[in-house]
Amino acid sequence: MNITKPTLLIDENIVRKNIKRMTERAKRFNCELRPHFKTHQSQRIGEWFRDYEIDKCAVSSLEMAKYFFNAGWVDITVAFPLNILEHTTVNDLAGKIKLNLCVESIETVKALNDFLEHPVGVFLKIDAGYHRTGLAAENYAEIQSILEALESNHLITIKGFLQHAGHTYGAKGKAEIDEIHAYTTEKMIKLKDYFIKKYPDIIISNGDTPTCSVSENFEHIDEMRPGNFVFYDVMQAEISSCQYEDIGVAMSCPVVAKHADRNEVIVYGGAVHFSKDRIEKDGKTIYGLIAEEKENGWGDPISGWYVKKLSQEHGTIHVPDEAFDQIKIGDLLYILPIHSCLTGNLMSKYYTLDGEEIEMFRYNS
């Protein structure tokens, strides 16, 4: 393929391996897998999941739910607090598919009861420790009153409790991921046990790629909703959710300038291509890692090389002395993104290693 500008490459073999591994884990834990499609946001990549018998998914917006409905997905959870302003889209989708929504306040449930015209499943969004959003897992009284408000609506099926342990993204290694997993799981189990008699069909749905990738105890978890695992990225490799060889996407960026005096190479590839997510490592702020070139695709990160700075279109790459002179203007560098969800969202198109174009969802289109 003739790459001339920042291009997001996808290695289908790695991605399929990642999907296969997660489906096998879910089977082993006797857990339903409802992959979150907000990472790849692509109907085409969604099809790859079907090859592993996945027939349900999670998305992060009603618009994205419509996009995947248009590709034949008919069992979709919108894993985001219901935005009551989008009631038209809710009714539109609820009339056509098995749509699951998330609520976390009585105000939202009242609004939902007012506008809902078709059957939906409803999860209570639970905060089991991340403290981004959701009902505190200990707040049985409020949870009870919301369950009762939902019960009063014959169009609503109470699905259960949904949580996302996003704080695992800040973990340092498997031990810390497992610790968070144990802590949040205990809270979710207590919660389910408390309500199971009255609501025998409720389930626990867990998100977050790190625990779903490495933790072993899912005995009482009914459903997994990881998303990032399909591609992984530098952030996930650094917290040991995956190996670097599991990263399924890489940017290819042209070298446009060199600054030997400060060991910096400038690539065409900036914040509008990568996003500005970053990690701190060995006292350095890192916006991406440069991967070695292989016969077909990329390999592991090259030690000592990293993306040091990003502005709108410029990427500043630190390159050690010994390698600097080998780099030529017009070379293409493979760059592993810090956060593949945001990079994919910005690039809005993938290219397989055979140069095949893969379209994806576009907000506002």
- In the complex, which residues of this chain contact a copy of itself (CB under 8 A)? 3-5, 38, 60-61, 63, 80-86, 88-89, 104-105, 107-108, 111, 125, 131-134, 166, 254, 256-259, 262, 266, 268, 271-273, 275-277, 309, 311-314, 316, 328-330, 332, 341-342, 345-349, 362-365
Nearer to a copy of itself, 31 or 146 (CB): 146
CB of 338 to a copy of itself, least distance (A): 10
Q: Are 48 and 12 in contact (CB under 8 A)?
A: yes
Tell me how far apart the alpha carbons of residues 162 and 205 are, in angstroms, rounded to a whole number.
Answer: 5
Question: In terms of CB distance, is 82 or 120 closer to a copy of itself?
Answer: 82
Decide whether 283 or 330 has the Cβ nearer to a copy of itself. Answer: 330
296 close to 302: Cβ distance less than 8 angstroms: no
- Tokens at residue 127, please? 């905060």
Q: Which is nearer to a copy of itself, 136 or 189 (CB)?
A: 136
**Residue written as tokens 């248009």?**
70
**Residue 342: closest CA among 227, 254, 237:** 227
Rounded-to-10 torsion of CA 343, 347, 352, 356? 170
Helix 87-94 and helix 62-69, axial crossing angle in degrees, nearest 10: 30
Smallest distance from a copy of itself to CB 134, Å: 8
Query: Minimum distance between the CB of residue 319 and a copy of itself, rounded to whole angstroms?
Result: 14
Q: Which is nearer to a copy of itself, 154 or 262 (CB)?
A: 262
Compare residues 123 and 218 and give the one whose CB is closer to a copy of itself: 123
Lookup: tokens for 353: 């290693």
- Is the Cβ of residue 55 or residue 107 nearer to a copy of itself in the bound state? 107
- Long-range pairs of 70-76 with CB within 8 A, sequence gap ≥ 24: 70/43, 71/43, 71/46, 71/47, 73/46, 73/97, 74/98, 76/100
Cα 226 to Cα 49: distance, rounded to the nearest angstrom? 13
The strand ranges marked E within 167-305 are 203-206, 223-224, 249-259, 264-268, 279-281, 284-286, 288-294, 297-301
**Least distance from C-beta 257 to a copy of itself, angstroms?**
5
Residue whose CB is less far from a copy of itself, 24 or 115: 115
Query: Rounded to the nearest whole angstrom, what is the least distance from the CB of residue 216 to a copy of itself in the complex?
Result: 27
Shortest reach from residue 107's CB to a copy of itself, in Å: 4
Largest CA distance in the chain: 71
CB of residue 48 to a copy of itself, shortest distance in Å: 21
8 Å CB contact between 84 and 111: yes
Residue 80 CB, shortest distance to a copy of itself, in Å, is 6
Given a contact cutoff of 8 angstroms between Cβ atoms, the answer to whether 143 and 198 are in contact is no
